[in-house]
């Protein structure tokens, strides 16, 4: 190589050295650019790169799909072949799940109903004045609503007692009769002995009447909402209900208020999709069980779990209990295994999990078990 050639090569070495041969490989939906650098681009080098590129493309194109993908395609074809044939002129209606949000732009806000009865403050534990489920759980809520003048802005609804038939939709006759037999019974020793047969229960002489009143008030609120007399509402009631099992009192609860009201809406109000949200600090295992195989009620619970060491200490409170039978996929638990959760954590759960689920489910009615002990100030929460 002569001096002139060496000089020209040195001048153009940088340009040639930075030259890049770009190759586009077509795979499963993505394009990947492979960059191969060469110090000098020669005809032979370009030809070799071209041969390699063709080989890579053939290799990608000849790659077999995974067995899982083939199986999914096979099932899809079988489902399509087995589905009833539609005539060419048949109209198919596709529901737009976002249309309700667009319609709400023109909606005029309706009234908010509120229901409470001061007799519910009578329910208390006679043999333990420091029992956590105390009258202040009712009186303080009402007092705070009055302080903020919220009650004045709401439509006051009249509470009522539930009928026997309404309660028996979710509980046994024996359970109902036993609690009824305690009505106005002031034998404190006898009542305490009875309560030792159950987990976290006390019975007051007024417990039966107030439990029936709590159920009836919840149903009455639901009826007012479904009949459009109010747009939404709140029932401030005691005793609570979401731990009350079909045939057992449990966790301060005697009759499952929200479960009975939801069943009433299904049976008597023609509803087919109810979202039941439970943010009590304890898992509402009874509400979960009562609709575990029913796809018409989607149960969504946020609760403290601590890997099963927090009450009610049940395996079924974990995230992998999702329903069974027709109700599979309609039970969602968000167990909190870390202490120190804040508003931001709850908002993240609402926005990232609850709202997407609700948008897809499109409930006709939303019922919230707004447990008092899921707020700051409650001794059980202060331990978090």
Place of tokens 């303080």: 140
Give the confidence band of 59 by pLDDT, cuts at 50, 70, 90: low
Q: What is the pLDDT of residue 103?
A: 77
CB atoms within 10 A of CB 309: 9
Task: Provide the token pair at 173.
Answer: 């006759």
Residue 270's contacts (CB-CB under 8 Å, 6 or more residues apart) are none
Per-residue pLDDT for 291 more than 50?
yes
Record the tokens describing residue 237, joined without a space: 């009631």
At residue 142, does pLDDT exceed 60?
Answer: yes
Q: Is the pLDDT of residue 283 over 90?
A: yes
Residue 70: the pLDDT is: 81
Higher-confidence position of 305 and 83: 305
More confident: 77 or 301: 301
- What are the extents of the domains in the chain? 3-59, 113-267, 272-384
Instruction: Please compute the mean of the pLDDT values over residues 243-261 and round it to a whole number.
Output: 98
Pick the catalytic residue from 243, 264, 283, 303.
243
CA 51 to chain CA centroid, nearest Å: 56
DSSP per-residue string spanning 63-88: PPPPHHHHHHHHHHHHHHHHSPPPPT
Q: Is the dihedral of CA 182, 127, 374, 340 positive or negative?
A: negative
Please name the residue ranges forming H helices in the chain: 3-17, 43-61, 67-82, 99-103, 136-147, 164-167, 173-181, 188-195, 207-226, 257-268, 285-290, 343-349, 355-361, 379-382
Structure-model confidence comparison of residues 122 and 384, the more confident one: 122
Q: Catalytic: 171?
A: no
CB count, 10 Å around CB of 284? 30
* CB contact set of 332 (below 8 Å; sequence gap of 6+): 298, 299, 300, 301, 322, 353, 357
Half-sphere CA count of 128, side-chain side, radius 13 A: 12
* Choice among 34-38, 88-92, 280-284 with the minimum mean pLDDT: 34-38
Mean pLDDT of the residues in the chain: 85
Mean pLDDT of 169-197: 97
Residue 39 has pLDDT above 60, yes or no: no
> Between the CA of residue 66 and those of 25, 72, 337, what are the distances in Å?
20, 10, 37
- For the cut 90, the answer to whether the pLDDT of residue 282 exceeds it is yes
> Is residue 49's pLDDT more than 70?
no
Residue by residue, DSSP assigns 220-242 as: HHHHHHHTTSSSEEEEE-SS--T
Structure confidence at residue 198 (pLDDT): 98
CA dihedral for 225, 228, 231, 234, sign (positive or negative):
negative
pLDDT of residue 120: 97
Average pLDDT rounded to a whole number, residues 161-177: 98
pTM of the full predicted structure?
Answer: 0.75
Q: What is the mean pLDDT of residues 140-150?
A: 96
Examine the pLDDT at 214 and tell me if it is beyond 80.
yes
Kindly tell me if the per-residue pLDDT of 6 is higher than 50. no
What's the whole-number mean pLDDT along residues 265-282?
97
Tokens of residue 229, six digits? 């007399």
pLDDT digits over 298-339, tens only? 999 999 999 999 999 999 999 999 999 999 999 999 999 988
- The owner of tokens 């099992």 is 245
Per DSSP, the three-state class of 155 is strand
| pLDDT over 50 (residue 66) | yes
DSSP 119: G
- Say which residue, 282 or 37, is predicted with more confidence: 282
CATH class as words, domain 113-267: alpha beta
Question: pLDDT class for 15, splitting at 50, 70, 90?
Answer: very low
Structure tokens at 91: 């109209």
Q: What percent of the chain has pLDDT over 90?
A: 66
Per-residue confidence (pLDDT) for residue 98, from 0 to 100 = 74
């Amino acid at each position: 190589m002569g001096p002139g050639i060496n000089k020209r090569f040195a001048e153009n070495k940088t340009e040639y050295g930075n030259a890049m041969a770009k190759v586009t490989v077509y795979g499963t939906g993505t394009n990947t650019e492979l960059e191969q650098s060469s110090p000098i681009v020669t005809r032979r080098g370009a030809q070799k790169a071209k041969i390699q590129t063709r080989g890579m493309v053939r290799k990608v194109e000849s790659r077999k799909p995974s067995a899982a993908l083939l199986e999914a395609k096979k099932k899809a074809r079988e489902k399509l072949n087995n589905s009833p044939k539609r005539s060419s002129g048949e109209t198919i209606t596709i529901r737009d799940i976002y249309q309700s949000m667009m319609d709400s732009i023109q909606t005029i806000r309706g009234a908010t109903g509120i229901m409470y009865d001061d007799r519910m403050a009578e329910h208390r534990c006679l043999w333990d004045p420091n029992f956590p489920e105390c009258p202040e759980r009712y009186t303080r809520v009402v007092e705070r609503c009055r302080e903020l003048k919220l009650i004045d802005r709401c439509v006051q609804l009249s509470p009522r007692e539930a009928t026997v038939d309404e309660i028996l939709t979710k509980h046994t006759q024996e359970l109902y009769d036993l609690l009824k037999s305690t009505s106005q019974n002031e034998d404190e020793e006898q009542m305490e002995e009875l309560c030792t047969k159950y987990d976290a229960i006390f019975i007051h002489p007024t417990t039966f009447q107030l439990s029936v009143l709590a159920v009836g008030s919840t149903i009455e609120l639901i009826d007012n909402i479904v009949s459009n007399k109010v747009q939404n509402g709140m029932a401030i009631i005691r005793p609570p209900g979401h731990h009350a099992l079909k045939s057992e009192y449990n966790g301060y609860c005697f009759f499952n208020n929200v479960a009975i009201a939801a069943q009433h809406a299904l049976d008597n109000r023609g509803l087919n999709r109810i979202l039941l949200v439970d943010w009590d600090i304890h898992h509402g295992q009874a509400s979960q069980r009562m609709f575990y195989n029913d796809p018409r009620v989607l149960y969504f619970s946020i609760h403290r779990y601590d890997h099963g060491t927090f009450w009610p200490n049940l395996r079924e409170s974990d995230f992998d209990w999702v329903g069974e039978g027709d109700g599979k996929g309609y039970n969602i638990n968000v167990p909190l295994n870390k202490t120190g959760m804040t508003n931001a954590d709850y908002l993240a759960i609402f926005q990232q999990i609850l709202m997407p689920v609700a948008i897809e489910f499109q409930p006709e009615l939303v019922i919230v078990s707004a447990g008092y002990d899921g707020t700051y100030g409650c001794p059980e929460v202060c331990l978090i």
